[in-house]
């Protein structure tokens, strides 16, 4: 008996180590793929040189430029966005005690998108150029604000005598998303050609816009919100039994709720501002982790960070190689992988009378 739980803890560590290894390998491979193929050896040497090792070895200088200025920021952003979406989905599913919840369903992404589009179309007058650092810094904040506002509206309206009613919540989410859609439509109506194009590609998701400057601002926000969510994994385990039960067991439920909603809104809002709406990662990954391993949130949350990052890297590699030298929007790829999976989940839940 004493052994069985130690084994379980070690198994958590093992699963997470294995996932990390797979992720590292996938990242290395993804760095080699693209318009220019860079050998894995060169990738490793360049990376090591960045931290001051093997500086005497010579590599193709074009490879180095491509890697450091284009692929490396892109991969880091992909990792952060994928991880943020994965863990937000896992935490929100845990909080709402429903495996079908995803950030999109409760309005985070819709709210973020609406706020960002308003910003792109009507806000450009406030800034002399859309390429300056201030603009880069404001977009994530606006995006977070929109996401948080939408989430709190959905959460507030979905409450019934102090408890979250999932059916009302999902319907409210639909309504808020419709509202966000109208705001977006209205903005598109007033947008000029250039803004329209920017916006259309942005909604489909675009990981190509990563710059070190953008990362410098957004990485701390994403890492911070991910960390805040990860800390809640024990409380989420208790909340799985119900909010009242969690409270009986000593969880400060209202505080946990606030932290999770705010951190998810921050994580998703910033992700949306960086890469547009990338659907299904937050839904598919936590579910996959639960099916393959088990439901302990202390595993599901960190594994969703790794899994989300992994899936987005894979989707990104496919998106930028399948029609090379052009690029498929990333949202198309995750949708192609995610939609059939979501339908499968719905069918399964239907069979089990869980809906």
Partner 1 sequence: MYQAIDLSFRVRDRIILQNVNLTIRPGEFTAVVGPNGAGKSTLLKSLAYENTNFRGQVIINGTSTSSYTPKSLSRVRAVLPQSTTVPFAFTAEQIVHLGRYTHRSTHIVNRAIVQEVMERTSTFSLKDQAYSTLSGGEKQRVQLARVLAQVWEETVHPRYILLDEPTSSMDIAQQQQMFALAKSVCSRNIGVMAIVHDLNQAVQFADQLYFLRDGKITAAGEAKDVFTKTNIEETFCCRVNVYHDPCNNCPYVITERTDTVPASIHHLKLKTSSL
Could you tell me the smallest distance in angstroms from the CB atom of residue 248 to partner 1? 4
> 266 Cβ partners below 8 Å, 6+ apart?
144, 147, 148, 221, 224, 225
Q: Which is nearer to partner 1, 9 or 192 (CB)?
A: 9
Q: Which is nearer to partner 1, 2 or 129 (CB)?
A: 2
Phi/psi at 17 (nearest 5 deg)?
-65, -45
> 19 Cβ partners below 8 Å, 6+ apart?
303, 306, 307, 310
CA distance linking residue 182 with residue 200, whole number of Å:
15
Could you tell me the smallest distance in angstroms from the CB atom of residue 348 to partner 1? 12
Could you tell me the smallest distance in angstroms from the CB atom of residue 90 to partner 1? 11
CB 225 within 8 A of CB 235: no
CB 120 within 8 A of CB 247: no
Secondary structure of 212-229 in HEC code, one letter for each residue = HHHHHHHHHHHHHHHHHH
- 250 counts as binding partner 1 under rule CB under 8 A: yes
- 341 counts as binding partner 1 under rule CB under 8 A: no
- 146 counts as binding partner 1 under rule CB under 8 A: no
- 1 counts as binding partner 1 under rule CB under 8 A: yes
- 2 counts as binding partner 1 under rule CB under 8 A: yes
Q: Which is nearer to partner 1, 168 or 219 (CB)?
A: 168
CB 68 within 8 A of CB 252: no
Could you tell me the smallest distance in angstroms from the CB atom of residue 304 to partner 1? 13
CB 91 within 8 A of CB 232: yes
- 251 counts as binding partner 1 under rule CB under 8 A: yes
């809640």: which residue's tokens? Answer: 232
Among 30, 177, 218, 237, which residue interacts with partner 1 (rule: CB under 8 A)? 237
- 216 counts as binding partner 1 under rule CB under 8 A: no
- 303 counts as binding partner 1 under rule CB under 8 A: no
Could you tell me the smallest distance in angstroms from the CB atom of residue 119 to partner 1? 37
Of residues 263 through 292, those in contact with partner 1 by CB under 8 A are 290
Strands 159-160 and 163-164: what pairing?
antiparallel
Helix (H, G, I), strand (E, B) or coil at 159: strand
- 35 counts as binding partner 1 under rule CB under 8 A: no
- 353 counts as binding partner 1 under rule CB under 8 A: no
Interaction pattern, residues 87-106, with partner 1; x per rule: CB under 8 A: -------x--xxx-------
- 252 counts as binding partner 1 under rule CB under 8 A: yes
Token duo for residue 147? 């996401």
353 CB-contact burial (10 Å; exposed 0-12 / middle 13-18 / buried 19+): exposed
Among 253, 260, 272, 275, which residue interacts with partner 1 (rule: CB under 8 A)? 253
Q: Is the dihedral of CA 304, 307, 313, 316 positive or negative?
A: negative
Given its phi and psi angles, is residue 207 left (phi above 0), alpha (psi -120 to 50 degrees) or beta? alpha
CA distance linking residue 308 with residue 101, whole number of Å:
16
From the list 183-191, 237-245, 276-284, 305-313, the region that binds partner 1 by CB under 8 A is: 237-245
Q: Which is nearer to partner 1, 25 or 346 (CB)?
A: 346
Interaction pattern, residues 41-80, with partner 1; x per rule: CB under 8 A: ----------------------------------------
Which stretches of the chain bind partner 1, using CB under 8 A?
1-2, 5-6, 9, 94, 97-99, 234, 237-238, 240-242, 244-245, 247-253, 290, 294-296, 354
């Amino acid at each position: 008996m004493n052994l069985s739980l130690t084994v379980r803890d070690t198994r958590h560590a093992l699963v997470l180590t294995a996932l990390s290894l797979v992720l590292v390998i996938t990242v290395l491979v993804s760095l080699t793929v693209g318009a220019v193929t860079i050998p894995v050896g060169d990738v490793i040497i360049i990376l090591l040189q960045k931290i001051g090792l093997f500086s005497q070895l010579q590599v193709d200088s074009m490879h180095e430029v491509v890697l450091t200025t284009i692929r490396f920021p892109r991969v880091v952003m992909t990792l952060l966005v994928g991880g943020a979406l994965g863990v937000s989905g896992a935490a929100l599913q845990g909080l709402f005690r429903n495996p079908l919840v995803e950030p999109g369903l409760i309005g985070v992404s819709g709210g973020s998108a609406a706020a960002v589009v308003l910003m792109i179309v009507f806000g450009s007058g406030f800034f002399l150029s859309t390429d300056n650092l201030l603009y880069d810094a404001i977009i994530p904040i606006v995006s977070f604000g929109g996401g948080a506002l939408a989430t709190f509206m959905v959460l507030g309206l979905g409450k019934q005598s102090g408890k979250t009613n999932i059916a009302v919540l999902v319907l409210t989410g639909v309504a808020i998303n419709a509202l966000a859609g109208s705001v977006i439509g209205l903005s598109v109506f007033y947008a000029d050609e250039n803004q329209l194009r920017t916006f259309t590609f942005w909604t489909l998701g675009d990981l190509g816009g990563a710059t070190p400057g953008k990362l410098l601002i957004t990485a701390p926000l994403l890492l911070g919100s991910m960390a805040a969510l990860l800390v809640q994994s024990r409380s989420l385990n208790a909340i799985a039994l119900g909010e009242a039960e969690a409270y009986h067991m000593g969880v400060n439920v209202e505080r946990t709720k606030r932290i999770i909603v705010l951190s998810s809104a921050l994580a998703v809002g910033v992700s949306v501002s960086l890469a547009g709406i990338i659907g299904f990662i937050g839904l598919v990954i936590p579910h996959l982790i639960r099916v393959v391993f088990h439901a302990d949130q202390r595993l599901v949350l960190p594994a969703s960070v790794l899994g989300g990052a992994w899936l987005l890297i894979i989707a990104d590699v496919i998106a930028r190689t399948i029609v090379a030298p052009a690029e498929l929007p990333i949202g198309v790829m995750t949708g192609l992988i995610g939609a059939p999976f979501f339908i499968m989940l719905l069918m399964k839940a239907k069979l089990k009378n869980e809906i």
